Structure 1
Amino acid sequence: MSQATHGERRAVVVEDDEDIRSLIEFTLTTQGFEVRAAESGLDGVELVRTFDPDLVTLDLGLPGIDGIETCRRIRELTDAYVVMITARDDEIDRLLGLETGADDFLSKPFSVRELKARVNAMFRRPRRGYDTAGSAAAGGAPAPASAVPDHEVLEHGPLRVDVDGRRAFRGGDELALTRTEFDLLTELMRTPARVWTREALLRSVWGTDWATDTHLVEVHIGNLRRKLGEAPTTAGFIRTVRGVGYRMEALDA
């Protein structure tokens, strides 16, 4: 997992188009990132392995292994934010990218302003667990609430979320959540009786009001449900409120 402290954010740009790669590198550098770049999926995966970034921008149409497979391999190495970039506008590409672990999506051509806005929104999410060395990567169970001042721990039945340590558990098993999946689960568990609209979750988790991005919420909720061990035919922990949005399933007293 990435553990770069505040002011030491790192990014990997995986893009085979030299002009776009240079533009993204320049944009992220002006945002305070230390940036490394790769031209192919395989080189990008290796760079993620060695550089341990906080953010990855990933072109969908890469030579060799494509962006979908590259994203899948990257997700085995890191929980860094992944922004997938594509020249194609097919919805299936967006859905496949999100299902393999991308956090957000940008379509070419995109503006520097939009890239900056989306990156800034992602890094406004709470990441207090990375302010203390080793807090997010240490093995074993999360620290008890009394061990750290204002340490926030949420519980919902067998689910337990250590907000500050950014770790989630079902029973005794730690869940391998991406940052976006973790943030979604945290928001839902903080107010388990609240029905969240997709638009409200976009504002809270992604920091955006772009209504066209409600697919982001739907796909990430689906990914989160699978990792929570929910079967499609059972109610599970997250309930869909038809025509409105989502809330945590009420538990029996």
Structure 2
Amino acid sequence: MADNEHTATANNNLIKDELSHEKQRIVVAGSVCQRFAIIKAIAKNSYEIIEADAAVDLLAMLSEHEYDLVITSTDLPGHNSVELMQSIFKVGKSFAVLAQSDTDDEIDRVLALELGADDCVPMSCGSRELKARVHALLRRRSKNFTSFIKTPSKGANMVGSELSHRGWVVNRDRRQLYSPSGNVIPVSNVEYCVLVSLFANPGSIRDRSSLRDSNAGSGEPDLRSIDVSISRIRKKMARYSSQNIIETVHGVGYRLIKDRSGSE
């Protein structure tokens, strides 16, 4: 067995270990009333739930421990909504994020999604819908892991746990993106999965359906959301390089751009 296959197998075992804990771990952050309503809606006994009431507490928890899902108000004491979402993703760990807007304003929810949240609900969201969205995010996260624990094909662009292309690196152990100059670029769970799909086979076209499947979505709305995810990834990359490496293949999907010589 080749060295990269040994490494991939070891990584697979680590990921399986992460998935093996009995209850999925959820952080619920917000006011006492918000936390009570959320915990009541999602069935407390089904999960291991940890609570936080301020941004500093939430960020400390995320830095020190592993969680499956973060459910947070966009208005925690200590941070405004933009600062909060940016700080959450700077932690660089592989949890899904469900934001709860403190208003019913659509603009607030769109902003949270643009900043990287996997989902966002208004304050008026009913308990049944909230429970369904939590289940969907956790189911999606579990599928995200299992869809990438397979040993890659010989043609995959992989060295150990890293996928690289033109100086950019996706580290699968840390679930992070690194710029050519070594900067860590925070990405959401969905963005990470899209990057892995593209970086695994540079130059190969990935249609929206396959990119959607990589983050376990289904249906037309998720196909459109792939375009939003690609747009966010490009904006993040543009902060560190003027060179766009993700090409839109009109009417088909996306691929990583190769050098003219054909090399990666």
Q: Same fold (TM over 0.5)?
A: yes
1:20 to 21, 37, 57: 37
Provide closer, same or farther for how the CA distance between residues 105 and 202 of structure 1 changes in structure 2, counting only shifts above 3 A: farther
Gaps of 5+ in 2: 1-14, 150-157
**Are 1:41 and 1:67, in contact at CA under 8 Å, matched by a contact in 2?**
no
Shift of 1:56: 0.7
Match of 2:133?
114
Q: Tell me if the contact between 1:177 and 1:224 (Cα under 8 Å) persists in the aligned partners.
A: no
- The equivalent of 2:96 in structure 1 is 81
- Alpha-carbon shift at residue 21 of structure 1 (Å): 2.2
1:6 aligns with 2:19: yes
Question: What pairs with 1:89-238 in structure 2 (closer than 5 Å)?
Answer: 90-106=105-121, 108-109=125-126, 110-126=129-145, 145=159, 151=160, 153-164=162-173, 166-171=175-180, 173-178=182-187, 179-205=189-215, 207-214=216-223, 216-229=225-238, 236-238=244-246
TM-score by length of 1: 0.69
Check whether the contact 2:96–2:137 (CA below 8 A) recurs between aligned residues: no
The alpha carbon displacement at 1:188 in A equals 0.9
Query: How far is the alpha carbon of 1:164 from its aligned partner?
Result: 5.0
- Of Structure 1 and Structure 2, which has the larger fraction of its residues in helix? 2
Aligned residues of 2:69 and 2:97 also touching (Cα < 8 A): yes
Q: Tell me: CA distance 1:64–1:162, structure 2 relative to 1, closer, same or farther (3 Å).
A: closer
Do the aligned partners of 2:176 and 2:184 also contact (CA within 8 Å) in 1?
Answer: yes
**Secondary structure in 2 aligned to 1:250?**
coil
In structure 2, which of residues 234, 253, 260 is the aligned counterpart of residue 245 of structure 1? 253
Answering whether residue 83 of structure 2 is matched by residue 69 of structure 1, we say: yes
Unaligned runs of 5+ in 1: 131-143, 146-150
Q: Give the secondary-structure state (helix, strand or coil) at the position aligned to 1:93.
A: helix
> RMSD value over aligned CA atoms?
3.7
AA aligned opposite 2:220: A
Aligned residues: 228
Identity %: 24
Paired AA for residue 220 in structure 1 = S
Provide closer, same or farther for how the CA distance between residues 185 and 129 of structure 1 changes in structure 2, counting only shifts above 3 A: closer
Q: Distance in 1 between matches of 2:177 and 2:102?
A: 35
